[in-house]
Amino acid sequence: MRRLLRYLRPFVLLIVLAVGMLFIQATCDLTLPNLLSRLVNEILRVNTVPLLAEDASILRIGLMMLAVAMGGGAAAIGVDFFSTKMAAGIARDLRYAVFEKVERFSSREFDSFSTASLITRCTNDINQIQGIFVMGIRMICYAPIMGIGSIIMAVSTAPSMSWLIILAVAVLMGMVITIMSLAMPKFRLIQALVDRLNRTARETLNGLMVIRAFGKEKLEEKRFDEVNRELTEVNLVVNRIMILQFPVMQLIMNTLILAIIWIGSHRIAAGGMDVGGMMAFIQYAMYIIFSFMFLSMMFIMLPRTAVSAARIARVLDTEVTIQDPPQPKRFTARPGGSRVEFRNVSFRYEKGSANALTDISFTAEPGETTAFIGPTGSGKSTIANLILRFYDVTGGAIFLDGVDIRELSQEELRFRIGYVPQKSVLLSGPVSFTLRYGKKEASNEEIREGAEIAQALDFIEEKEGGFEFPLSQGAANLSGGQKQRLSIARALVRNPGVLLFDDSFSALDFATDARLRKALAEKRNEAAKIIVAQRVGTIMGAEKIIVLDNGRITGMGTHRELLETSPEYREIAESQLSQGEMV
C-alpha cells in the first residue's frame, strides 16, 4: 500500500488546489442563504410591488447574490478541472507502474497471478481508483465543509429548531451505516467475479477453433452465462442497496422541510422569527441533507475502491524473485560462441511436491549441438527456462563462459542467448520489425540472412510487400510452420553465442527441418546450439544427446552410442524411425 501511495505524491499540489476551490464554493453556498434571508426581508419591508421597487438595498443584495453564485460556479468548474486532471494522471501512472512491475515478473510470480487477473487489475481496478478521485475529492472534501458549516449557520439562525436537524442527521447516519454493512461484503466478491468472467472469456476466445472443432459452443455459452449471471446478480444486489438511499434521503429531506415550515410558521406568527430567517434555515437544512447524501455515496464507493487498491498494491508489493546482483559481472565483447555448463543442478517448482530436475550436469560447447529428448514431463523445457533464468535453480549452478548466471545482469545474460520458444509468439507489425526485435540495428542483409537460414525467405518474398508485409495480431495471417520459421529467424538475426530451441521444429516438415539444420551448421557454426526436441530425426546429428526421464539424466552420448547404451533412447527411436533410418 505504501508503494501505491508513492505514485499519488505528484498530485498533492492538485489536491490542495482542488480542496481550495471546494472551500471557496462551500463558503459561497453558505453565504447565499444569508443573502436570501436579507433579500426576502427587504422585499417584505417595501410597500410597493417588489419588481417595481427602486429600493437600493434590494438591488445591492441581488448583485451580491449574483456575484456569490458566479464565484461558486467558477470554483465548481475549477474543482472539476483539477480533479479530472488529477484522476487521469493517477490512473496513467498506476497503469504504467503495474505494467512495468509485471514486465519484471519471473515465471514464479506469473504462477501466482493469472493473466486474466492481471488484466483486470490494470483496467477495471485502476478505473475504480480513477472514479473515486474524479468524484471523491469533491464529495469527501466538499460535503464535510458544507455540512459542518451549514449546521453551525442553522443553529445560529434558529437555535430552538436545531433539534430537527439533529434528528434528521441521526436518521441519515443510521441509514448510511445500514447500507455500508449490507454492501461492503459484496465488493470483494464483485472483483473476484470480474476476474472469473475475464478468465472465462479469454479461455473461450483463445480456444475458439478447438471449441468449434468439438462442437462445444453451447457448453461454453452455458459456462460463460453462469459466470455472467452470477456477476449480474451480485451487481444488482449492490445497485438496489445503493438506489434505495436516494428515495429515503428525499423522504427525509421533504419531511424535514415540512416540519421546518410548520414549526417556523407558528414562530413567525408569534413574532419569534422572520420569513427570511425561516427561508435561510430551510436552505441550510437542505445543504446538510445533501452533504450527507454525498458522504453516503462515498461510504459506498470507498470500500469497493479499497478492494481495488489492495489488489493493485498486491501486484506492486510483490517481490520479484529474479533480481540482478548489486554489482553484476560483464563480459568483454568477443566473437564466437559461448559455453553453457550445468553443475549438479536441481530444481523444484514452488508448489511442487518433488524435484522437476535432480543432479543435472552437462556442458554445451561452442560450435556443437547439444540436444535433449525424453517423455513429456521429463524436464526438458525446465532446462531451457533455467538457462534463461526465468527461474533460479534450487541446487547447483549454471555457468555461461565460466560465470555463474546469477552473477550476471538479466540483460547481459539474455543478450547472449537467442531463444526460440515452444509456442511462436510474434508481435503485430511488419515482418522486418519482428526480425529486428532482438537486434534493432540489424541491417537488411542480416535480416535477410536470418530468414534464409530459417527457410523463411521464400514465403516472405511471396508476400505482398516482402519484408514489409504486415503481421496481424498473433500473426494470424501466417500458418503454424511460417510462424515457427519467423520465430527462428528472429533469434538468428541476433547472432548470439547460444542458440536455444525449445521444441521449435515441431511444425516443420522433415525436408524443411533438414535444410534448416544444415544451414545452421554451416552459417552459425560457432554458436552453442541447445535443442529440446520430441523427434529423434531432428537431433540425430547432434554431437551430444541427453536423455531425460523424471528429471534425471538417464543417458548421454551420440545417436549411435545411445542406441547401444540407453534403453529409453532406443525405445523412443524405434517408435519414430524404421530400422534403416535409425542407422
What is residue 48's predicted lDDT score, i.e. its pLDDT? 44
Alpha-carbon distance 8 to 146, whole Å? 26
The predicted pLDDT at position 53 comes to 45
What is the rounded distance in angstroms from the CA atom of residue 401 to the CA atom of residue 451? 28
State in words which class domain 340-582 has: alpha beta
Q: What is the pLDDT of residue 51?
A: 46
- Digit-coded pLDDT (tens) for 168-187: 878 877 877 777 777 777 77
Choice between 334 and 336, residue whose per-residue pLDDT is larger: 336
> CA geometry: angle at 523 spanning 522 and 526, to 5°?
90
Residue carrying C-alpha cell 504504467 = 96
Which has the closest alpha carbon to 276: 25, 57, 56? 57
- DSSP β-ladder status, 403-404 and 395-400: antiparallel
Q: Provide the residue ranges of all domains of the chain, joining segments of one domain with +.
A: 2-317, 340-582
d(CA 553, CA 562): 12
| High-pLDDT (> 90) share of the chain, % | 8
pLDDT value, residue 278? 74
pLDDT surpasses 60 at 234? yes
Q: How far apart are the first and last CA of the chain?
A: 64
pLDDT tier for residue 17 given thresholds of 50, 70 and 90: low
pLDDT in tens, 462-519: 888 888 888 887 777 888 888 888 888 898 888 888 999 888 877 777 888 888 888 8
pLDDT, the chain, mean: 79
Contact 528, 370 (CB under 8 A): yes
**Segment among 167-171, 271-275, 402-406, 513-517 with least mean pLDDT:** 271-275
Percent of the chain clearing pLDDT 70 (strictly above):
85
The residue ranking higher by pLDDT, 389 or 38, is: 389
Q: Name the amino acid, one letter, at 314.
A: R
Cα-based distances in Å from 42 to 38, 67, 80: 6, 19, 36
DSSP 466: G
In this structure, what C-alpha cell is assigned to residue 77? 468548474
State the helix-helix crossing angle for 126-157 and 162-206, rounded to 10 degrees.
170
Query: What is the per-residue pLDDT for 372?
Result: 92
Q: What's residue 343's pLDDT?
A: 93
- Give the neighbor-by-neighbor strand order of the sheet with 357-364: 357-364, 340-347, 395-400, 403-404
Q: Do domains 2-317 and 340-582 have the same CATH topology?
A: no
Helix (H, G, I), strand (E, B) or coil at 373: strand
Per DSSP bridges, beta strands 528-532 and 357-364 are unpaired
Whole-model pTM: value is: 0.69
535: pLDDT confidence band, cut at 50, 70 and 90? confident
Superfamily of domain 2-317: ABC transporter type 1, transmembrane domain (1.20.1560.10)
- The number of residues making up the chain comes to 583
For the stretch 359-379, pLDDT in tens is: 999 999 998 899 999 888 888
